[in-house]
């Protein structure tokens, strides 16, 4: 078998890359370890930057997103017994975010690839990368061989692509946080029209949503926490204790459809390429989810990689491919900083003393009262151009 671009991973990065390449007449094969059902049900991110929405719409996969996605023009920061709105329409006019589940994006992309006769293989075992330093790299899997011109490693943080790069090539920058997020999806109408990011002495909580009937919540919990320690009643009690910190706000509860614990970690591997292998999305970098940047970064990488591959296959020009990593890393590091900043602003750190807590509250007061500080938050949140 032969293709131009061998893509490992059918998450948002791999699927979008395959779709965008198809629109440019470039062939690809996507190899995914899990089943289609599994990747379509995996509940993860939900906040799409304007640039992400534009990319999906321009690529012809935004029809349902435009119909069902929820446009938001602000978020609330809640702390110390009061809520404060960060108004995007005033601070960053014309820019907004859209709430639409990552697994919906994945469903739309899979449907588009299959409708166009795309080659997406699920439940593929033992993918291995070979000949990355040569002009004829290839992939092996389940007893088969796929020859490629280029390989795209879109297989997430735990994939095989990044570990296939020889030792000593990559510089790794990382940070583990001493807490995790317990995320739930609940069959209940959102209790707020906009997202609420709450800082309390009990820890951080986030009220998000998916549809007018389905809400999404996250709770800061200790690192390594097991889902079994959180029966439904405990989750609702803790969400109420943290979110009902504002007088008059009542949290509606309902059936919990899904629960999971996400570790909080930051990670960047540089450069994002080696020979004929290009890494995109979580395969190259992870952010703590507080700034809602993970999925958006994956889409941004894929935009850059598509342009570079098009220049290479259409004109034989390798300049953009050579500069791929450098072109991505500027945005990646901005998102790293923003995610670290939002995380530090809103979570409780066990070793923080009373002084550190006062500093945190002072910064929150600044962000919610100074237009300059609020604009910093807003422009990063909706996505840098």
Pick out residues in 44-103 that bind ligand DHB (CB under 6 A): 45-47
Structure tokens of 280?
């995109």
List of residues 6+ apart from 37 with CB closer than 8 A: none
Using rule CB under 6 A, residue 199 touches ligand FAD: no
The only residue of 98, 191, 208, 215 in contact with ligand DHB, by rule CB under 6 A: 208
Contact pick of 5, 20, 32, 55 for ligand FAD (by CB under 6 A): 32
Within positions 174 to 203, which residues make up the interface with ligand DHB, using CB under 6 A? 195
Alpha helices in the chain (DSSP H): 12-23, 36-41, 50-58, 63-68, 88-91, 102-115, 232-243, 294-315, 319-322, 324-346, 354-369, 371-382
> Residue 345, CB half-sphere, CA atoms under 13 Å: how many?
22
> Restricting to residues 33-62, which ones interact with ligand FAD according to CB under 6 A?
33-34, 39, 44-45
Rounded Cα–Cα distance for residues 113 and 284 (Å): 24
CA distance 272 to 80: 42
Among 216, 242, 331, 347, binds ligand DHB (CB under 6 A): 216
C-beta separation of 20 from 116 below 8 A: no
In the 8-state DSSP scheme, what is residue 244? T
| Of 10, 17, 99, 329, the one binding ligand FAD by CB under 6 A | 10
Q: Binding to ligand DHB (CB under 6 A): which residues in 19-48?
A: 45-47
Q: Which residue is nearest to ligand DHB (CB)?
A: 46
Contacted entry of ligand FAD, ligand DHB, none for residue 6, CB cut-off 5 to 8 Å set by kind: none
Catalytic residue, from 19, 285, 293, 347: name it.
Answer: 293
Among 4, 27, 253, 262, binds ligand FAD (CB under 6 A): 262
277-316 residues near ligand FAD, rule: CB under 6 A: 281-282, 289, 292-295, 298
Q: Which residue in the list 177, 197, 274, 324 is annotated as catalytic?
A: 197
To the query of whether residue 381 is one of the catalytic residues in this protein, the response is: yes
Q: Is residue 90 annotated as a catalytic residue, yes or no?
A: no
User: Rounded to whole angstroms, how far apart are CA atoms 335 and 329?
Assistant: 10
197 flagged as catalytic: yes
- Per the listing, tokens 């007061």 go with 365
Distance CA 322, CA 275 (A): 9
Could you tell me if 160 and 129 are in contact, meaning their C-beta atoms sit under 8 angstroms apart? yes
293 is catalytic: yes
With CB under 5 to 8 Å by kind, the binding choice for 34 among ligand DHB, ligand FAD, none is: ligand FAD
Q: Which is nearer to ligand DHB, 160 or 214 (CB)?
A: 214
The helix (run of H) or strand (run of E) holding residue 125 is: none
Q: Distances in Å between the alpha carbon of 98 and those of 50, 230, 248, 263, 304?
A: 7, 30, 27, 24, 22
Catalytic positions: 72, 197, 289, 293, 381
Residues binding ligand DHB (CB under 6 A): 45-47, 195, 206, 208, 216, 289-290, 292
Binding region for ligand FAD (CB under 6 A): 8-14, 31-34, 39, 44-45, 102, 127, 154-156, 158-160, 260, 262, 281-282, 289, 292-295, 298
């Amino acid at each position: 078998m032969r293709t131009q671009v061998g893509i490992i991973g059918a998450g948002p990065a791999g699927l979008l890359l395959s779709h965008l390449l198809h629109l440019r007449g470039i062939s690809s094969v996507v190899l995914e370890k899990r089943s289609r059902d599994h990747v379509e049900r995996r509940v993860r991110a939900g906040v799409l930057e304007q640039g992400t929405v534009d990319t999906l719409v321009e690529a012809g996969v935004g029809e349902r997103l435009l119909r069902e996605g929820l446009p938001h023009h602000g978020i609330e920061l809640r702390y110390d017994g009061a809520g404060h709105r960060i108004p995007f329409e005033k601070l960053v006019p014309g820019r907004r975010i859209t709430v639409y589940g990552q697994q919906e994006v994945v469903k739309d992309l899979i449907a588009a690839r299959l409708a166009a006769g795309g080659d997406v293989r699920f439940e593929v075992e033992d993918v291995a990368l070979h000949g990355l330093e040569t002009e004829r790299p290839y992939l092996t899997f389940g007893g088969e061989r796929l020859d490629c011109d280029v390989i795209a490693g879109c297989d997430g943080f735990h994939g095989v692509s990044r570990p296939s790069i020889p030792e000593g090539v990559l510089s790794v920058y990382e940070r583990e946080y001493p807490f995790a997020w317990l995320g739930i999806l609940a069959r209940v109408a959102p209790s707020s029209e906009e997202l609420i990011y709450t800082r309390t002495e009990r820890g951080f909580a986030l009220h998000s949503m998916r549809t007018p009937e389905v809400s999404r919540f996250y709770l800061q919990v200790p690192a390594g926490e097991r889902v079994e320690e959180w029966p439904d009643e405990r989750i609702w009690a803790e969400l109420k204790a943290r979110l009902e910190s504002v007088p008059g706000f009542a949290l509606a509860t309902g059936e919990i459809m899904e629960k999971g614990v996400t570790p909080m970690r930051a990670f960047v591997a540089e450069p994002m390429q080696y020979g004929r292998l290009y890494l995109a999305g979580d395969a190259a970098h992870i952010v703590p989810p507080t700034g809602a940047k993970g999925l958006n970064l994956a889409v941004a990488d894929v935009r850059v990689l598509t342009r570079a591959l098009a220049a290479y296959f259409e004109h034989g020009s390798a300049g953009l491919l050579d500069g791929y990593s450098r072109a991505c890393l500027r945005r990646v590091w901005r998102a790293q900083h923003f995610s670290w900043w939002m995380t530090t602003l809103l979570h409780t750190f066990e070793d923080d003393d009373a002084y550190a807590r006062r500093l945190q509250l002072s910064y929150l007061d600044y962000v919610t009262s100074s237009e300059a500080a609020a604009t910093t938050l807003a422009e990063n949140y909706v996505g840098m151009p």
